[in-house]
């Protein structure tokens, strides 16, 4: 796909679908002279394995960066735009300028001057995208755990903001909080004040 001397950044996101919390995108330039056994799509890994690989990526990557976009920006701009913005910011923030950016999914990141390729299921087939998926997922999970301490009634640490039965029951009982994405169905159908 790319020559051995090409600086390649993999890009992925975590948190497009939840009803609460931010979307997080990460960009990673791996050092391919190192051993990266075990890198995989973050969704296929246990939390403990993700944490271990997160530490390995931070120690062994040539460059990495992530960007967090919160619920208000998601509500204002929509989740797709917010995600693409986070991806672009992640790449622009890298300490190394990539010559090629591989983006998981069907879209490329807007506003970048380097070559890009969208790679469907890239987190399962490309090491740098898998590394980015792990960084994005671990960072987002940690944010949701912190939000759980602020608003414990919702159980964010357990379901990470997805629309689980427990989460929906808590929203019906307590109403939404500032961490919720009010533009998302079923949130936008609720007529409840923020707590």
In-domain check, residue 132: yes
- 29 domain-assigned: yes
Two tokens, residue 79 = 């989740």
Q: Omega before 164 cis (within 30°)?
A: no
Residue 193 lies in a domain: no
Q: Could you tell me if residue 106 is inside a domain?
A: yes
Structure tokens at 66: 């992530």
**In terms of pTM, does the model score above 0.85?**
yes
Indicate whether 1 pLDDT > 50: no
- Nearest alpha-carbon partner for 10 in 35, 24, 30: 30
Q: Which pLDDT score, from 0 to 100, does residue 191 have?
A: 57
- The answer to whether position 175 is within a domain reads no
Annotated binding residue at 166? no
> Does 164 fall in a domain?
no
b (16+ CB within 10 A) / e for 178-190: ebbbbebeebeee
Residue 165 falls inside a structural domain: no
104 is in an annotated binding site: yes
**Among residues 23, 52, 20, which one has the least CA distance to residue 39?**
52
CATH code of 64's domain: 3.30.420.10
- The count of structural domains within the chain is 1
Q: Summarize pLDDT for 54-88 with one digit per residue, the tens.
A: 999 999 999 999 999 999 999 999 999 999 999 99
- What pLDDT band is residue 5 in, cutting at 50, 70 and 90? low
Task: Indicate whether 184 belongs to any domain.
Answer: no
Give me the domain span that covers residue 116: 8-149
pLDDT digits (tens, 9 = 90+) for 6-35: 899 999 999 999 999 999 999 999 998 999
- Mean pLDDT score of the chain: 92
């Amino acid at each position: 796909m790319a020559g051995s001397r090409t600086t390649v950044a993999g890009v992925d996101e975590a948190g497009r679908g939840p009803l609460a919390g931010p979307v997080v995108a990460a960009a990673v330039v791996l050092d391919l002279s190192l051993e990266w056994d075990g890198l995989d799509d973050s969704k296929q890994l246990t939390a403990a394995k993700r944490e271990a690989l997160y530490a390995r990526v931070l120690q062994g990557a040539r460059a990495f960066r992530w960007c967090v976009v919160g619920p208000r920006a998601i509500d204002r701009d929509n989740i797709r735009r917010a995600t693409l913005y986070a991806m672009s910011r992640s790449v622009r923030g890298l300490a190394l300028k990539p010559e090629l950016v591989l983006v998981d999914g069907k879209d490329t990141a807007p506003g970048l001057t380097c070559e890009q390729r969208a790679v469907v299921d890239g987190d399962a087939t490309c090491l740098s995208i898998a590394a980015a998926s792990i960084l994005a997922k671990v960072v987002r999970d940690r944010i949701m755990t912190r939000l759980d301490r602020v608003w414990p009634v919702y159980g964010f640490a357990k379901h990470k903001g997805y629309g689980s039965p427990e989460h929906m029951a808590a929203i019906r009982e307590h109403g939404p909080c500032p961490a919720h994405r009010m533009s998302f169905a079923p949130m936008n159908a609720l007529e409840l004040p923020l707590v």
